[in-house]
Structure 1
Amino acid sequence: MSPPDPIKFLLVDDIEENLRALEALLRRDGLILIKARSGMEALELLLEHEFALALLDVQMPGMDGFELAELMRGTERTRGVPIIFVTAAATDEGRRFRGYEAGAVDFIYKPIDPLILKTKAQVFFDIARQHRLLARQKEEIARGAAELRTALDRLQAHTDNSPLAIVEFDDGLRLTAWSKGAERMFGWTSANMIGHRLDELGWVPEACVGRLTEMFRATLADASHSRGHDEVRCRTRDGAMLDCEWYSSVLRRPDGSAISLSVQILDVTARHKAEATQKLLIGELNHRVKNTLANVQAIATQTLRYTRSPEQFSATFTGRIQALSRVHSMLSSTTWQGASLAELVHDQLDLGVIDADRLSVSGPEVKLSPQTALRLALILHELFTNAVKYGAFSTAAGNVALLWTVEGDRLALRWQETGGPRVQAPTKRGFGSTLIENSLKSDGGAATASYRGDGVVWDLTMPLDSPEAINMRDPDNASDSTRHGAPAQTAATGIEGRSFLVVEDEPLVALDLVCVLEDAGASVCGPAGTVAEALELIESATFDAAFLDGNLHGAAVDEVAAALTRRGIRFAFVSGYGRQNLPQAFASAPVVGKPFTPRQIMEEAARLTAAPGNVVRLRAGEQG
């Protein structure tokens, strides 16, 4: 702190010796003595300086001390300056009265007693010094108050602009503060909320009030508590529910007693939705990847069953995987928004294995969902491949006409070969024709093949309103349907003679399941590709157990699982989803993950049909 400003006294006397005597007696540190030889000079000095005391000689020529005092009292600037008259007329009561009337606070009589002079001067010096100190303190207090107001205004601005809702409760849990952020978040104004208890207005649901009240009372009572956190569902004024995180702290007095409870509330509804969406997307990604792997596995298995040699398997399998890969790339370029039927056809032409002039294409623009595009890409791949190997494109004169029309919500597609080698209906059904006919039928479509003298004709119809309308099928209807790679029948598996319902919307995966079960000596009911088909078979068919996909064309399978449970039929989920994405009401049902092995399916089938308490395991060397 800087040293205090010096105190100033005014000494007025027309005799220089008297002024020097006063100066000698009053001189001290922190005091400035300013001298005037007349009333007029004194008035000029009074306008220039702030004096703590004026010592005025009464007897002066021109303007005496009384006249000077009266002028000082008549001016605002000098009215408050204390005046002590210095005079030799000690017994003149009239002059004393006039002096007090003019504004004097005291008299000093000549000859001057130094002790009296110094004592009286000290009083006014101390008063002036104290006045200065108080004025300084007042300025500092005013400055501190201004800084505090600025800080509070800044804090209020931060509070009002904060995305947090900041509220405060007294020790009775009544609201004492409600920020602008709280108004924006919940819709109520501070006038609506301040003064109300936590359990009023329905802001916090009744289910949470008791828990929060108990927690807050414990927080207020615990002097060591510094910060708390809780998750609370809060209701807005318009009735919407928000997921909120509450961060609480207690303001306390020096003795530790609670003054108030401050709570900062963060709306995490969007974050929870994002987390749920992320969880769903991860589940969907996991499901899609595993379904793709299951399809690849099924393609490999079924290709092996219908090929004669490793070389033939390699060529056929590679072609099918490449077709699947190309359509994946096509869908990725559109962020999986789908593909057009014409794009799938041109993809086959871009391979360069056929002359585009020998293919006639006609049909309107048809937008296919991603899953439908994947399946139809494999259909087209098989149609083109078989035409190159055995059909119209295997001779120089052959041609193919690919025509499609849309009638309402259904797509009708015709593949017609002409000019190729003579064909006849195969004596054995191949992998492709079985897939096309059965899967399109399960999806509400139809597939028929006509074997004419100059070429085969395929007529396919399918619904377009479902994203899963077209399933992957293999039209391998050539006569070389010998099951060179089919697994040999093995020793008893424990499910011979049993019957199983298969509910699966991926036709390749469904076919793989059917083959595994039938090769093990069981019979199959289905496969059903939709919830409606599954429910119908559950009501009308007889079977011992079931394998249930975790999702059917985007629809949950809770209803199917419930129907199986009502009939007392044991079942297992076959799914690319994790357990957390399957119906929680059936958490006790076993899960076979995709892609699966034949051994996994057979072991689960044996467990599903075993007597309660029996544990069934395949012996080493058995099928799987």
Structure 2
Amino acid sequence: MKDQHARTAEQFARRAHEQSVLYRFTDRLYRARSMGDVYDASLDAIADGLGCARASILRFDDNGIMRFVAWRNLSAAYRQAVDGHSPWRPGDQNAEPIFIDDVQTADIPEALKATILQEGIRALAFIPLTIDDKVIGKFMTYFAKPRDFTTNELQLSVTIARQLGFSIGRRLADDNARRLSAAVESSKDAIFTSDLNGIVTSWNTGAERLLGYSQGEAVGKPAAVLVPRDRRGEQAAILSRIRNREHDSCYETVWQRNDGNLVDISLTVSPVLDRDETITGVSYIARDITDRRRAEEKQHLLLREMEHRVKNLFAVASSIVRVRARSTTSPSDLASAVCAQLSALAQAHSLTLTPRLTDDPREAPATSLHSLIRTILSPYDCKVDAESGFMITGPDVRVSGNAITPLALLLYEFATNAAKHGSLSMPSGRIAVECTAEGDRYTLVWCERGGPSDAMQGGEGFGSMLVKATAAQLDAKLSQDFSPTGLTIRLSLSADRLAN
């Protein structure tokens, strides 16, 4: 009877000790500040709860090799010798603890047995560490003498392993969440989430910068406020695609900032999933592509300008040949005259390009307005022993290197159109350019006379668009008047803009 009471008392004492060990272990895990604190608390619980002086914790590294991460009273030679050994592979499921009561009689490779015995170990246990029932590592206990492991020790080992695995998983998740949060907050992209009703639930700093709403202004509001009224169907379509589990829908669109301005964006939309793969919301990543769009538009404009120029050059060359053929008497004279005019045409054409090729247009050499007009018109001056086909009157002014390109483009476009459709296409055609200065304004009046009576009146083609855009670049006022007598173009701009 006394023996029974003693055994009962011993069991109660053991259970009380185990509960005390687990309580302290749980409390230390809760208070742990680092993974090192987690490992220290675990080794103390293993040693105290299982009564062993030696223990270790091992984890799979990025290459799937089991490595020591914490240990007690194990030699460096032993750790090196058994490094990488594991009865499990990363991600194995339903792993069970392995207990070896006596290493001497265990069915393990002789080399490994010798290494373990040399360390003074006669009994040991492998306890798997798991996250979501997938093996991520193990902890081990070592004993100097053979040992009959009890059911209580098995249960306590499994309990410690579960607590340790849970703590590692939670800390990894916290670390990942912190890294993700830091990445999201430091991103220049607008990153935010909404629920399945389109109500914003999170909002990063990039979204504040790009879209102009503070976090307090955005969270709790419909994401639809970002979509212009003429695109409101987009937000409903996004939510519909997400509910249908469509991932990574990426497209370009336009959103509206808090100040009402529009911004071009590249938008990636993905579903937000919980642990059960249930869709709980929507993730948005918006990137400002305004600069890229502008670059694309500029490139497109330059390509169209190049195409326009090439077509004009061929048309003008044909016009030169046609007009010269009327005033020459031999093929050699025609070839000489055409070559001279084509050379002049190349010189005039270069004026519209050279300043663009410099790092700073202001570094391009300046010229005078009259000289610029003569250079542009010289390829079309078909008169040999008669009066010139063009006349320039009025005060001459300096044209800065910064203004040469846009002004040359305008004059070149005027001359090209005149050669193709206007007065320069006829032997009798004349161009008069009158320059006047009034206060801080300088005005150039381009008059064509003697051209075809059915001359084109310049529709809204690319040439017209180019003329308007170039005039705007010069902050100039431009008007064109088509009359039975010919075309008159009036160009007025600031004298300062012309000279600086």
Taking structure 1 as the reference length, the TM-score comes to 0.41
Amino acid at match of 2:345: L
Contact 2:193 / 2:284 at 8 angstroms: preserved in 1? yes
Q: How far did residue 295 of structure 1 move?
A: 2.8
- Structure 1 residue corresponding to 2:407, chosen from 467, 478, 481: 467
Whether 2:89 is the aligned partner of 1:135: answer no
Q: Partner of 2:468: helix, strand, or coil?
A: coil
Amino acid at match of 1:221: R
User: CA 1:187 to 1:369, structure 2 compared with 1: closer, same or farther past 3 Å?
Assistant: farther
Distance in 2 separating the partners of 1:330 and 1:517: 22
- Structure 2 residue corresponding to 1:196, chosen from 199, 213, 221: 221
User: CA 1:382 to 1:563, structure 2 compared with 1: closer, same or farther past 3 Å?
Assistant: closer
- Structure 2 residue corresponding to 1:555, chosen from 445, 468, 482: 468
User: CA 1:163 to 1:52, structure 2 compared with 1: closer, same or farther past 3 Å?
Assistant: closer
Q: Partner of 1:226: helix, strand, or coil?
A: coil
User: CA 1:185 to 1:461, structure 2 compared with 1: closer, same or farther past 3 Å?
Assistant: closer
Q: Which residue of 2 aligns with 1:279?
A: 300
- Structure 2 residue corresponding to 1:258, chosen from 249, 270, 279: 279
1:40-82 Cα distance to aligned partner (Å, 9 max, x none): xxxxxxxxx74769xxxxxxxxxxxxxxxxxxxxxxxxxxxxx
Contact 2:432 / 2:447 at 8 angstroms: preserved in 1? no
Q: How far did residue 242 of structure 1 move?
A: 0.5
Q: Which residue of 2 aligns with 1:219?
A: 241
User: CA 1:462 to 1:435, structure 2 compared with 1: closer, same or farther past 3 Å?
Assistant: farther
Q: How far did residue 217 of structure 1 move?
A: 3.5
Q: How far did residue 207 of structure 1 move?
A: 2.9
Consecutive unaligned residues of structure 2, counting only runs of 5 or more, are 1-46, 52-148, 435-442, 472-476, 485-500
Q: Which residue of 1 aligns with 2:144?
A: none
Distance in 2 separating the partners of 1:160 and 1:369: 59
Whether 2:201 is the aligned partner of 1:176: answer yes
Q: How far did residue 260 of structure 1 move?
A: 0.9
Q: How far did residue 179 of structure 1 move?
A: 2.1
User: CA 1:505 to 1:536, structure 2 compared with 1: closer, same or farther past 3 Å?
Assistant: closer
1:228-267 mapped onto 2 (5 Å cutoff):
228-252=249-273, 257-267=278-288
Amino acid at match of 2:237: M
Distance in 2 separating the partners of 1:220 and 1:283: 40
User: Rg larger in 1 or in 2?
Assistant: 1
User: CA 1:527 to 1:544, structure 2 compared with 1: closer, same or farther past 3 Å?
Assistant: farther
Q: Which residue of 2 aligns with 1:205?
A: 228
Distance in 2 separating the partners of 1:294 and 1:513: 10
- Structure 1 residue corresponding to 2:315, chosen from 290, 294, 310: 294
Distance in 1 separating the partners of 2:350 and 2:448: 38
Q: Partner of 2:390: helix, strand, or coil?
A: helix
Q: Which residue of 2 aligns with 1:505?
A: 414
Q: Partner of 1:555: helix, strand, or coil?
A: helix
1:390-405 mapped onto 2 (5 Å cutoff):
none
Contact 2:324 / 2:382 at 8 angstroms: preserved in 1? no
Q: Give the length in aligned residue pairs.
A: 319
- Structure 2 residue corresponding to 1:315, chosen from 336, 343, 346: 336
Contact 1:183 / 1:190 at 8 angstroms: preserved in 2? yes
Distance in 1 separating the partners of 2:455 and 2:431: 12
Q: How far did residue 376 of structure 1 move?
A: 6.0
User: CA 1:563 to 1:366, structure 2 compared with 1: closer, same or farther past 3 Å?
Assistant: closer
Distance in 1 separating the partners of 2:407 and 2:158: 87
Measured on the aligned residues, the alpha-carbon RMSD in Å equals: 5.3
Q: How far did residue 194 of structure 1 move?
A: 1.4
Taking structure 2 as the reference length, the TM-score comes to 0.50
Q: Partner of 1:237: helix, strand, or coil?
A: coil
1:155-174 mapped onto 2 (5 Å cutoff):
155-174=180-199
Contact 2:370 / 2:396 at 8 angstroms: preserved in 1? no
Q: How far did residue 206 of structure 1 move?
A: 2.9
Whether 2:178 is the aligned partner of 1:150: answer no
Contact 1:462 / 1:469 at 8 angstroms: preserved in 2? no
Distance in 2 separating the partners of 1:316 and 1:518: 17
User: CA 1:237 to 1:245, structure 2 compared with 1: closer, same or farther past 3 Å?
Assistant: same
Distance in 1 separating the partners of 2:244 and 2:204: 26
Contact 1:160 / 1:181 at 8 angstroms: preserved in 2? yes
Q: How many percent identity over aligned positions?
A: 20
User: CA 1:373 to 1:236, structure 2 compared with 1: closer, same or farther past 3 Å?
Assistant: farther
Give the number of the structure whose residues are more often helix, by fraction: 2
Whether 2:390 is the aligned partner of 1:436: answer yes
Contact 1:303 / 1:316 at 8 angstroms: preserved in 2? yes
User: CA 1:273 to 1:434, structure 2 compared with 1: closer, same or farther past 3 Å?
Assistant: same
Q: How far did residue 192 of structure 1 move?
A: 2.1
Distance in 2 separating the partners of 1:382 and 1:543: 20
Q: Which residue of 1 aligns with 2:210?
A: 185
Distance in 1 separating the partners of 2:357 and 2:350: 9
User: CA 1:189 to 1:131, structure 2 compared with 1: closer, same or farther past 3 Å?
Assistant: farther
Consecutive unaligned residues of structure 1, counting only runs of 5 or more, are 1-48, 54-123, 344-364, 387-425, 447-459, 473-503, 570-624
Distance in 2 separating the partners of 1:259 and 1:138: 29
Q: Partner of 1:172: helix, strand, or coil?
A: coil
User: CA 1:532 to 1:366, structure 2 compared with 1: closer, same or farther past 3 Å?
Assistant: closer
Contact 1:165 / 1:181 at 8 angstroms: preserved in 2? yes
Contact 1:249 / 1:263 at 8 angstroms: preserved in 2? yes
Q: How far did residue 378 of structure 1 move?
A: 4.8
User: CA 1:140 to 1:371, structure 2 compared with 1: closer, same or farther past 3 Å?
Assistant: farther
1:265-289 Cα distance to aligned partner (Å, 9 max, x none): 1222222111111111112222233
Q: How far did residue 326 of structure 1 move?
A: 4.7
Amino acid at match of 1:205: P
